[in-house]
Structure 1
Protein backbone atom coordinates (compact mmCIF):
# COMPACT_ATOMS: atom_id res chain seq x y z
CA UNK A 1 0.00 0.00 0.00
CA UNK A 2 1.30 3.44 -0.84
CA UNK A 3 2.52 5.56 2.05
CA UNK A 4 -0.08 8.09 3.17
CA UNK A 5 0.37 11.55 1.76
CA UNK A 6 0.73 14.55 4.03
CA UNK A 7 -2.82 15.62 4.87
CA UNK A 8 -4.32 18.89 3.78
CA UNK A 9 -6.11 21.15 6.24
CA UNK A 10 -9.06 19.25 7.73
CA UNK A 11 -12.47 19.92 6.27
CA UNK A 12 -14.43 22.31 8.48
CA UNK A 13 -17.38 19.92 8.75
CA UNK A 14 -15.29 16.76 8.98
CA UNK A 15 -16.65 15.25 5.74
CA UNK A 16 -14.06 13.54 3.55
CA UNK A 17 -13.74 14.78 -0.02
CA UNK A 18 -13.48 11.44 -1.82
CA UNK A 19 -12.53 10.78 -5.43
CA UNK A 20 -14.43 7.72 -6.61
CA UNK A 21 -14.48 6.59 -10.27
CA UNK A 22 -17.54 5.75 -12.37
CA UNK A 23 -17.23 1.98 -11.92
CA UNK A 24 -17.20 2.37 -8.14
CA UNK A 25 -20.38 4.44 -8.38
CA UNK A 26 -21.99 1.62 -10.36
CA UNK A 27 -20.97 -0.89 -7.70
CA UNK A 28 -22.15 1.27 -4.80
CA UNK A 29 -25.56 2.11 -6.22
CA UNK A 30 -26.44 -1.11 -8.08
CA UNK A 31 -26.06 0.43 -11.52
CA UNK A 32 -24.28 -0.42 -14.75
CA UNK A 33 -22.72 1.73 -17.45
CA UNK A 34 -25.57 0.73 -19.75
CA UNK A 35 -28.13 1.83 -17.15
CA UNK A 36 -26.45 5.22 -16.80
CA UNK A 37 -26.32 5.63 -20.57
CA UNK A 38 -30.08 4.97 -20.70
CA UNK A 39 -31.06 7.55 -18.05
CA UNK A 40 -33.56 9.85 -19.81
CA UNK A 41 -32.25 13.11 -18.43
CA UNK A 42 -29.59 14.69 -16.25
CA UNK A 43 -28.13 12.96 -13.21
CA UNK A 44 -27.30 14.65 -9.90
CA UNK A 45 -24.29 13.54 -7.84
CA UNK A 46 -24.67 14.96 -4.32
CA UNK A 47 -22.19 15.20 -2.70
CA UNK A 48 -19.72 14.58 -5.50
CA UNK A 49 -16.38 15.40 -3.93
CA UNK A 50 -13.52 15.08 -6.38
CA UNK A 51 -15.12 12.18 -8.23
CA UNK A 52 -14.63 11.26 -11.86
CA UNK A 53 -18.32 10.52 -12.47
CA UNK A 54 -19.24 13.67 -14.41
CA UNK A 55 -16.22 13.33 -16.70
CA UNK A 56 -16.53 9.58 -17.27
CA UNK A 57 -20.31 9.54 -17.69
CA UNK A 58 -20.09 12.14 -20.46
CA UNK A 59 -18.49 9.52 -22.69
CA UNK A 60 -21.63 7.40 -22.18
CA UNK A 61 -23.89 10.27 -23.25
CA UNK A 62 -24.97 10.79 -19.63
CA UNK A 63 -25.07 14.37 -18.35
CA UNK A 64 -24.07 14.63 -14.68
CA UNK A 65 -24.26 17.70 -12.49
CA UNK A 66 -21.92 17.41 -9.52
CA UNK A 67 -22.60 19.39 -6.36
CA UNK A 68 -20.57 19.71 -3.20
CA UNK A 69 -19.93 22.47 -0.64
CA UNK A 70 -16.20 21.97 -1.27
CA UNK A 71 -16.63 23.57 -4.72
CA UNK A 72 -16.68 26.95 -3.02
CA UNK A 73 -12.93 26.39 -2.63
CA UNK A 74 -10.31 26.71 -5.41
CA UNK A 75 -9.99 23.49 -7.40
CA UNK A 76 -6.40 22.79 -6.23
CA UNK A 77 -7.59 22.88 -2.62
CA UNK A 78 -10.45 20.49 -3.40
CA UNK A 79 -7.92 18.14 -5.01
CA UNK A 80 -5.65 18.47 -1.97
CA UNK A 81 -8.51 17.55 0.34
CA UNK A 82 -9.24 14.54 -1.85
CA UNK A 83 -5.62 13.46 -1.59
CA UNK A 84 -5.90 13.72 2.19
CA UNK A 85 -9.08 11.61 2.04
CA UNK A 86 -7.16 8.98 0.07
CA UNK A 87 -4.67 8.76 2.92
CA UNK A 88 -7.54 8.46 5.42
CA UNK A 89 -9.07 5.66 3.34
CA UNK A 90 -5.76 3.80 3.20
CA UNK A 91 -5.52 3.97 6.99
CA UNK A 92 -9.15 2.91 7.45
CA UNK A 93 -8.79 -0.10 5.16
CA UNK A 94 -5.76 -1.26 7.13
CA UNK A 95 -7.41 -0.64 10.52
CA UNK A 96 -10.93 -2.03 9.78
CA UNK A 97 -10.56 -4.63 6.99
CA UNK A 98 -13.93 -6.21 7.86
CA UNK A 99 -15.68 -3.16 6.39
CA UNK A 100 -14.02 -3.50 2.99
CA UNK A 101 -13.60 -6.22 0.35
CA UNK A 102 -10.68 -8.47 1.19
CA UNK A 103 -7.43 -7.62 -0.63
CA UNK A 104 -7.57 -10.84 -2.62
CA UNK A 105 -10.88 -9.65 -4.10
CA UNK A 106 -9.80 -6.04 -4.61
CA UNK A 107 -6.17 -5.17 -3.84
CA UNK A 108 -6.06 -2.00 -1.81
CA UNK A 109 -3.29 -0.35 -3.82
CA UNK A 110 -5.15 -0.95 -7.10
CA UNK A 111 -8.35 0.40 -5.57
CA UNK A 112 -6.66 3.57 -4.34
CA UNK A 113 -4.98 4.10 -7.70
CA UNK A 114 -8.51 4.28 -9.16
CA UNK A 115 -9.12 7.21 -6.80
CA UNK A 116 -5.95 8.88 -8.09
CA UNK A 117 -7.19 8.60 -11.65
CA UNK A 118 -10.64 9.93 -10.69
CA UNK A 119 -9.07 12.88 -8.90
CA UNK A 120 -7.04 13.77 -11.97
CA UNK A 121 -10.14 13.51 -14.16
CA UNK A 122 -12.05 15.76 -11.78
CA UNK A 123 -9.32 18.40 -11.76
CA UNK A 124 -9.14 18.51 -15.55
CA UNK A 125 -12.90 18.38 -16.05
CA UNK A 126 -13.66 21.26 -13.70
CA UNK A 127 -11.47 23.44 -15.91
CA UNK A 128 -13.19 22.34 -19.13
CA UNK A 129 -16.77 22.17 -17.82
CA UNK A 130 -17.05 24.38 -14.71
CA UNK A 131 -20.80 24.75 -15.23
CA UNK A 132 -21.27 21.10 -14.24
CA UNK A 133 -19.79 21.62 -10.78
CA UNK A 134 -22.06 23.54 -8.41
CA UNK A 135 -21.17 24.60 -4.87
CA UNK A 136 -24.10 23.63 -2.62
CA UNK A 137 -24.87 21.67 0.51
CA UNK A 138 -27.78 19.63 1.78
CA UNK A 139 -30.44 20.15 2.97
CA UNK A 140 -30.87 23.06 0.50
CA UNK A 141 -29.95 22.75 -3.16
CA UNK A 142 -30.13 25.49 -5.84
CA UNK A 143 -32.11 23.45 -8.38
CA UNK A 144 -35.71 23.64 -9.53
CA UNK A 145 -38.22 20.93 -8.68
CA UNK A 146 -37.92 17.83 -10.84
CA UNK A 147 -34.64 18.78 -12.53
CA UNK A 148 -32.96 15.36 -12.50
CA UNK A 149 -33.94 11.96 -13.85
CA UNK A 150 -31.69 10.20 -11.33
CA UNK A 151 -30.07 11.42 -8.13
CA UNK A 152 -27.19 9.65 -6.39
CA UNK A 153 -26.07 10.47 -2.85
CA UNK A 154 -23.13 8.60 -1.40
CA UNK A 155 -21.36 8.64 1.94
CA UNK A 156 -23.06 11.55 3.63
CA UNK A 157 -26.59 11.38 5.03
CA UNK A 158 -26.08 8.16 7.02
CA UNK A 159 -22.28 8.13 7.09
CA UNK A 160 -22.05 11.19 9.37
CA UNK A 161 -24.74 10.87 12.09
CA UNK A 162 -22.95 13.54 14.10
CA UNK A 163 -23.86 16.00 11.33
CA UNK A 164 -27.22 14.52 10.27
CA UNK A 165 -29.64 13.66 13.05
CA UNK A 166 -33.04 12.19 12.18
CA UNK A 167 -34.66 15.53 11.37
CA UNK A 168 -31.78 16.65 9.17
CA UNK A 169 -31.68 13.26 7.43
CA UNK A 170 -35.36 13.57 6.57
CA UNK A 171 -34.88 17.14 5.34
CA UNK A 172 -31.86 16.17 3.21
CA UNK A 173 -33.56 13.15 1.63
CA UNK A 174 -36.74 15.14 0.95
CA UNK A 175 -34.65 17.78 -0.77
CA UNK A 176 -33.04 15.15 -3.00
CA UNK A 177 -36.50 13.90 -3.95
CA UNK A 178 -37.69 17.46 -4.61
CA UNK A 179 -35.03 18.08 -7.26
CA UNK A 180 -35.70 14.67 -8.87
CA UNK A 181 -38.40 14.09 -11.47
CA UNK A 182 -41.62 12.44 -10.26
CA UNK A 183 -40.85 9.46 -12.50
CA UNK A 184 -37.19 9.34 -11.44
CA UNK A 185 -35.54 8.02 -8.32
CA UNK A 186 -33.02 8.86 -5.63
CA UNK A 187 -30.46 6.24 -4.61
CA UNK A 188 -28.63 6.62 -1.29
CA UNK A 189 -25.68 4.58 0.01
CA UNK A 190 -24.47 3.56 2.56
CA UNK A 191 -27.07 3.09 5.29
CA UNK A 192 -24.39 2.91 7.98
CA UNK A 193 -21.81 5.20 9.51
CA UNK A 194 -18.04 5.16 9.12
CA UNK A 195 -17.69 2.41 11.71
CA UNK A 196 -20.17 0.15 9.93
CA UNK A 197 -23.04 0.75 12.38
CA UNK A 198 -26.42 0.64 10.62
CA UNK A 199 -28.81 3.53 11.02
CA UNK A 200 -30.78 2.63 14.19
CA UNK A 201 -33.89 4.57 13.20
CA UNK A 202 -34.27 3.65 9.54
CA UNK A 203 -37.86 2.47 9.98
CA UNK A 204 -38.82 5.72 11.68
CA UNK A 205 -37.07 7.73 9.00
CA UNK A 206 -38.93 5.89 6.25
CA UNK A 207 -42.22 6.52 8.07
CA UNK A 208 -41.39 10.23 8.26
CA UNK A 209 -40.63 10.25 4.54
CA UNK A 210 -43.92 8.51 3.85
CA UNK A 211 -45.71 11.30 5.66
CA UNK A 212 -44.11 13.63 3.12
CA UNK A 213 -45.49 11.45 0.29
CA UNK A 214 -42.11 9.91 -0.45
CA UNK A 215 -42.03 6.16 -1.11
CA UNK A 216 -38.94 4.24 0.02
CA UNK A 217 -37.51 0.79 -0.26
CA UNK A 218 -34.21 -0.82 0.67
CA UNK A 219 -32.64 -2.64 -2.25
CA UNK A 220 -30.18 -5.40 -1.32
CA UNK A 221 -27.74 -6.81 -3.83
CA UNK A 222 -24.45 -8.70 -3.79
CA UNK A 223 -21.15 -6.90 -4.15
CA UNK A 224 -19.34 -7.96 -7.29
CA UNK A 225 -16.02 -8.10 -5.45
CA UNK A 226 -16.86 -10.70 -2.84
CA UNK A 227 -20.58 -11.49 -2.89
CA UNK A 228 -21.30 -9.77 0.42
CA UNK A 229 -24.50 -7.75 0.47
CA UNK A 230 -24.87 -4.03 -0.17
CA UNK A 231 -27.95 -2.00 0.79
CA UNK A 232 -29.25 1.05 -1.07
CA UNK A 233 -32.16 3.25 -0.04
CA UNK A 234 -34.31 4.02 -3.10
CA UNK A 235 -36.70 6.97 -2.91
CA UNK A 236 -39.49 7.97 -5.29
CA UNK A 237 -42.47 10.29 -5.32
CA UNK A 238 -45.24 8.20 -3.72
CA UNK A 239 -47.96 9.49 -6.05
CA UNK A 240 -45.99 8.42 -9.11
CA UNK A 241 -45.37 4.95 -7.68
CA UNK A 242 -49.11 4.48 -7.11
CA UNK A 243 -49.96 5.65 -10.63
CA UNK A 244 -47.37 3.29 -12.11
CA UNK A 245 -48.65 0.34 -10.06
CA UNK A 246 -52.24 1.12 -10.99
CA UNK A 247 -51.48 1.19 -14.71
CA UNK A 248 -50.11 -2.36 -14.82
Structure 2
Protein backbone atom coordinates (compact mmCIF):
# COMPACT_ATOMS: atom_id res chain seq x y z
CA UNK A 1 0.00 0.00 0.00
CA UNK A 2 1.28 3.48 -0.86
CA UNK A 3 1.00 5.94 2.00
CA UNK A 4 2.25 9.49 2.44
CA UNK A 5 4.21 10.78 5.35
CA UNK A 6 3.37 14.26 6.57
CA UNK A 7 4.80 16.72 4.09
CA UNK A 8 5.31 20.44 3.95
CA UNK A 9 3.46 22.32 1.25
CA UNK A 10 5.90 23.71 -1.31
CA UNK A 11 4.99 26.90 -3.14
CA UNK A 12 4.68 26.47 -6.89
CA UNK A 13 7.40 29.05 -7.44
CA UNK A 14 9.90 26.71 -5.78
CA UNK A 15 9.72 24.35 -8.78
CA UNK A 16 12.36 25.38 -11.30
CA UNK A 17 11.12 26.51 -14.71
CA UNK A 18 13.88 24.98 -16.82
CA UNK A 19 14.83 25.71 -20.44
CA UNK A 20 16.02 22.47 -21.98
CA UNK A 21 16.58 22.15 -25.76
CA UNK A 22 15.35 19.27 -27.91
CA UNK A 23 18.73 17.51 -27.93
CA UNK A 24 18.75 17.42 -24.15
CA UNK A 25 15.25 15.89 -24.14
CA UNK A 26 16.52 13.19 -26.48
CA UNK A 27 19.45 12.47 -24.15
CA UNK A 28 17.33 12.48 -21.00
CA UNK A 29 14.54 10.26 -22.30
CA UNK A 30 16.44 8.00 -24.70
CA UNK A 31 14.88 9.43 -27.84
CA UNK A 32 16.09 10.42 -31.29
CA UNK A 33 14.91 13.03 -33.73
CA UNK A 34 13.96 10.22 -36.12
CA UNK A 35 11.81 8.57 -33.43
CA UNK A 36 10.00 11.84 -32.74
CA UNK A 37 9.46 12.48 -36.45
CA UNK A 38 7.92 9.00 -36.89
CA UNK A 39 5.36 9.30 -34.09
CA UNK A 40 1.75 8.86 -35.28
CA UNK A 41 0.38 11.60 -33.03
CA UNK A 42 1.24 14.48 -30.72
CA UNK A 43 3.63 14.49 -27.77
CA UNK A 44 2.82 15.80 -24.29
CA UNK A 45 5.60 17.58 -22.40
CA UNK A 46 4.49 17.83 -18.77
CA UNK A 47 5.82 19.95 -17.20
CA UNK A 48 6.96 21.96 -20.20
CA UNK A 49 8.64 24.83 -18.36
CA UNK A 50 10.42 27.23 -20.70
CA UNK A 51 11.78 24.42 -22.89
CA UNK A 52 12.28 24.54 -26.64
CA UNK A 53 10.87 21.08 -27.32
CA UNK A 54 7.62 22.28 -28.88
CA UNK A 55 9.40 24.87 -31.02
CA UNK A 56 12.20 22.61 -32.23
CA UNK A 57 10.10 19.49 -32.76
CA UNK A 58 7.84 21.36 -35.18
CA UNK A 59 10.66 21.36 -37.72
CA UNK A 60 10.59 17.55 -37.55
CA UNK A 61 6.86 17.43 -38.25
CA UNK A 62 6.20 16.47 -34.62
CA UNK A 63 3.47 18.30 -32.75
CA UNK A 64 4.16 18.92 -29.06
CA UNK A 65 1.75 20.23 -26.44
CA UNK A 66 3.41 21.58 -23.31
CA UNK A 67 1.51 21.66 -20.01
CA UNK A 68 2.69 23.58 -16.96
CA UNK A 69 0.96 25.58 -14.20
CA UNK A 70 3.46 28.38 -14.88
CA UNK A 71 1.67 29.13 -18.16
CA UNK A 72 -1.12 30.80 -16.18
CA UNK A 73 1.41 33.59 -15.51
CA UNK A 74 2.30 36.41 -17.92
CA UNK A 75 5.00 35.38 -20.38
CA UNK A 76 7.39 37.94 -18.90
CA UNK A 77 7.09 36.28 -15.48
CA UNK A 78 7.62 32.80 -16.93
CA UNK A 79 10.76 34.10 -18.65
CA UNK A 80 11.97 35.66 -15.40
CA UNK A 81 11.47 32.38 -13.54
CA UNK A 82 13.33 30.56 -16.30
CA UNK A 83 16.27 32.95 -15.99
CA UNK A 84 16.27 32.40 -12.21
CA UNK A 85 16.31 28.64 -12.82
CA UNK A 86 19.35 29.06 -15.05
CA UNK A 87 21.16 30.79 -12.18
CA UNK A 88 20.13 28.02 -9.78
CA UNK A 89 21.33 25.37 -12.22
CA UNK A 90 24.73 27.06 -12.56
CA UNK A 91 25.13 26.98 -8.78
CA UNK A 92 23.95 23.36 -8.55
CA UNK A 93 26.34 22.22 -11.28
CA UNK A 94 29.23 23.83 -9.44
CA UNK A 95 28.23 22.19 -6.14
CA UNK A 96 27.37 18.67 -7.42
CA UNK A 97 28.97 18.22 -10.87
CA UNK A 98 28.47 14.42 -10.73
CA UNK A 99 24.70 14.90 -11.08
CA UNK A 100 24.92 16.96 -14.26
CA UNK A 101 26.37 16.76 -17.79
CA UNK A 102 30.05 15.96 -18.04
CA UNK A 103 32.32 19.04 -18.02
CA UNK A 104 34.49 17.47 -20.76
CA UNK A 105 33.79 18.68 -24.30
CA UNK A 106 30.46 20.09 -23.13
CA UNK A 107 31.53 22.43 -20.34
CA UNK A 108 28.92 23.82 -17.93
CA UNK A 109 29.03 27.28 -19.53
CA UNK A 110 28.40 25.81 -22.97
CA UNK A 111 25.62 23.63 -21.58
CA UNK A 112 23.92 26.63 -19.98
CA UNK A 113 24.18 28.60 -23.21
CA UNK A 114 22.02 25.88 -24.78
CA UNK A 115 19.43 26.76 -22.12
CA UNK A 116 19.67 30.43 -23.11
CA UNK A 117 18.89 29.56 -26.71
CA UNK A 118 16.04 27.27 -25.66
CA UNK A 119 14.56 29.99 -23.46
CA UNK A 120 14.55 32.43 -26.37
CA UNK A 121 12.91 29.86 -28.66
CA UNK A 122 10.27 29.18 -26.01
CA UNK A 123 9.47 32.89 -25.64
CA UNK A 124 8.93 33.34 -29.37
CA UNK A 125 7.03 30.08 -29.85
CA UNK A 126 4.70 30.49 -26.87
CA UNK A 127 3.82 34.01 -28.02
CA UNK A 128 3.23 32.82 -31.60
CA UNK A 129 1.45 29.54 -30.78
CA UNK A 130 -0.13 30.03 -27.34
CA UNK A 131 -2.56 27.15 -27.94
CA UNK A 132 0.39 24.74 -27.70
CA UNK A 133 1.10 25.84 -24.10
CA UNK A 134 -1.61 24.78 -21.66
CA UNK A 135 -1.79 25.96 -18.06
CA UNK A 136 -2.33 22.70 -16.16
CA UNK A 137 -0.87 20.84 -13.21
CA UNK A 138 -0.60 17.20 -12.26
CA UNK A 139 -2.34 15.14 -11.06
CA UNK A 140 -5.23 16.41 -13.20
CA UNK A 141 -4.84 17.34 -16.86
CA UNK A 142 -7.45 18.83 -19.24
CA UNK A 143 -6.87 16.34 -22.07
CA UNK A 144 -8.95 13.47 -23.41
CA UNK A 145 -8.08 9.81 -22.89
CA UNK A 146 -5.35 8.56 -25.21
CA UNK A 147 -4.70 11.98 -26.75
CA UNK A 148 -0.92 11.60 -27.06
CA UNK A 149 1.36 9.14 -28.81
CA UNK A 150 4.14 9.81 -26.30
CA UNK A 151 4.16 11.56 -22.93
CA UNK A 152 7.31 12.93 -21.31
CA UNK A 153 7.60 14.12 -17.72
CA UNK A 154 10.95 15.35 -16.52
CA UNK A 155 12.32 16.80 -13.30
CA UNK A 156 9.11 16.91 -11.29
CA UNK A 157 7.50 13.82 -9.76
CA UNK A 158 10.61 12.35 -8.14
CA UNK A 159 12.72 15.51 -8.14
CA UNK A 160 10.41 17.22 -5.62
CA UNK A 161 9.39 14.59 -3.03
CA UNK A 162 8.36 17.38 -0.65
CA UNK A 163 5.73 18.42 -3.19
CA UNK A 164 4.90 15.01 -4.67
CA UNK A 165 4.53 12.41 -1.94
CA UNK A 166 3.87 8.80 -2.86
CA UNK A 167 0.08 9.12 -3.16
CA UNK A 168 0.35 12.18 -5.37
CA UNK A 169 3.07 10.53 -7.44
CA UNK A 170 0.77 7.57 -8.02
CA UNK A 171 -2.15 9.79 -9.00
CA UNK A 172 0.07 11.80 -11.37
CA UNK A 173 1.49 8.70 -13.07
CA UNK A 174 -2.00 7.25 -13.56
CA UNK A 175 -3.09 10.55 -15.10
CA UNK A 176 -0.14 10.62 -17.48
CA UNK A 177 -1.03 7.10 -18.64
CA UNK A 178 -4.69 8.08 -19.05
CA UNK A 179 -3.89 10.80 -21.59
CA UNK A 180 -1.48 8.55 -23.51
CA UNK A 181 -2.58 6.24 -26.33
CA UNK A 182 -2.73 2.50 -25.61
CA UNK A 183 0.08 1.84 -28.09
CA UNK A 184 2.12 4.76 -26.78
CA UNK A 185 4.15 5.13 -23.62
CA UNK A 186 4.92 7.49 -20.76
CA UNK A 187 8.56 8.22 -19.92
CA UNK A 188 9.47 9.76 -16.56
CA UNK A 189 12.86 10.86 -15.27
CA UNK A 190 14.86 11.38 -13.15
CA UNK A 191 14.09 8.77 -10.48
CA UNK A 192 15.96 10.71 -7.82
CA UNK A 193 15.57 14.04 -6.06
CA UNK A 194 17.70 17.16 -6.40
CA UNK A 195 20.29 15.70 -4.02
CA UNK A 196 20.71 12.51 -6.06
CA UNK A 197 18.73 10.34 -3.60
CA UNK A 198 16.76 7.62 -5.38
CA UNK A 199 13.08 7.13 -4.71
CA UNK A 200 12.93 4.55 -1.92
CA UNK A 201 9.38 3.41 -2.62
CA UNK A 202 9.62 2.98 -6.40
CA UNK A 203 8.98 -0.78 -6.23
CA UNK A 204 5.82 -0.23 -4.16
CA UNK A 205 4.74 2.47 -6.56
CA UNK A 206 5.20 0.13 -9.52
CA UNK A 207 3.26 -2.60 -7.71
CA UNK A 208 0.38 -0.16 -7.15
CA UNK A 209 0.47 0.81 -10.84
CA UNK A 210 0.31 -2.87 -11.80
CA UNK A 211 -2.84 -3.20 -9.73
CA UNK A 212 -4.35 -0.51 -11.97
CA UNK A 213 -3.38 -2.37 -15.15
CA UNK A 214 -0.36 -0.19 -15.89
CA UNK A 215 2.82 -2.00 -16.91
CA UNK A 216 6.10 -0.41 -15.86
CA UNK A 217 9.80 -0.90 -16.38
CA UNK A 218 12.91 0.97 -15.36
CA UNK A 219 14.82 1.29 -18.61
CA UNK A 220 18.44 2.31 -18.96
CA UNK A 221 18.91 4.74 -21.82
CA UNK A 222 22.02 6.29 -23.31
CA UNK A 223 22.05 9.87 -24.48
CA UNK A 224 24.23 11.88 -26.79
CA UNK A 225 26.18 13.20 -23.81
CA UNK A 226 27.60 9.73 -23.12
CA UNK A 227 25.70 9.19 -19.88
CA UNK A 228 23.36 6.32 -19.03
CA UNK A 229 20.14 7.17 -17.22
CA UNK A 230 17.27 5.30 -15.61
CA UNK A 231 13.86 6.16 -17.06
CA UNK A 232 10.52 4.91 -15.78
CA UNK A 233 8.48 3.70 -18.78
CA UNK A 234 4.73 3.11 -18.41
CA UNK A 235 2.13 1.52 -20.67
CA UNK A 236 -1.57 0.85 -20.24
CA UNK A 237 -2.50 -2.84 -20.26
CA UNK A 238 -5.75 -4.05 -21.79
CA UNK A 239 -6.84 -0.78 -23.35
CA UNK A 240 -7.78 -1.02 -27.02
CA UNK A 241 -5.21 0.88 -29.11
CA UNK A 242 -6.24 3.59 -31.49
CA UNK A 243 -4.91 3.75 -35.03
CA UNK A 244 -3.96 7.33 -34.38
CA UNK A 245 -4.22 9.42 -31.21
CA UNK A 246 -6.81 12.14 -31.47
CA UNK A 247 -5.44 15.56 -32.34
CA UNK A 248 -8.34 17.19 -30.51
CA UNK A 249 -7.07 18.23 -27.09
1:209 aligns with 2:203: no
1:225 aligns with 2:202: no
Check whether the contact 1:221–1:229 (CA below 8 A) recurs between aligned residues. Answer: yes
- Structure 1 runs of 4+ off > 4 angstroms? none
CA RMSD of aligned residues (A): 1.6
Q: Which runs of 5+ in 2 are unaligned?
A: 1-9, 241-249
Q: Which runs of 5+ in 1 are unaligned?
A: 1-9, 242-248
Alignment map for 1:2-151 (pairs within 5 Å)? 12-151=12-151
Larger relative contact order (Cα-Cα within 8 Å, sequence gap ≥ 6): 2
Distance 2:119 2:101 in 1: 22
Q: CA deviation at 1:101?
A: 2.7
| Helix, strand or coil at the partner of 1:77 | helix
Q: CA deviation at 1:106?
A: 1.8
Distance 1:219 1:205 in 2: 16
Q: CA deviation at 1:238?
A: 1.7
Distance 1:43 1:219 in 2: 20
Q: CA deviation at 1:127?
A: 1.2
Check whether the contact 2:217–2:234 (CA below 8 A) recurs between aligned residues. Answer: yes
- TM-score, normalization: structure 2? 0.90
Check whether the contact 1:11–1:81 (CA below 8 A) recurs between aligned residues. Answer: no
Check whether the contact 2:27–2:222 (CA below 8 A) recurs between aligned residues. Answer: no
State the Cα deviation string for residues 52-97 of structure 1 (Å, max 9, x = none).
0000000000000001000000001101100000000000000111
| Helix, strand or coil at the partner of 1:239 | coil
Q: CA deviation at 1:137?
A: 0.1
Q: CA deviation at 1:239?
A: 1.9
Check whether the contact 1:18–1:49 (CA below 8 A) recurs between aligned residues. Answer: yes
Distance 1:55 1:194 in 2: 27
Q: CA deviation at 1:13?
A: 4.5
1:155 aligns with 2:155: yes
Q: How many residues align?
A: 232
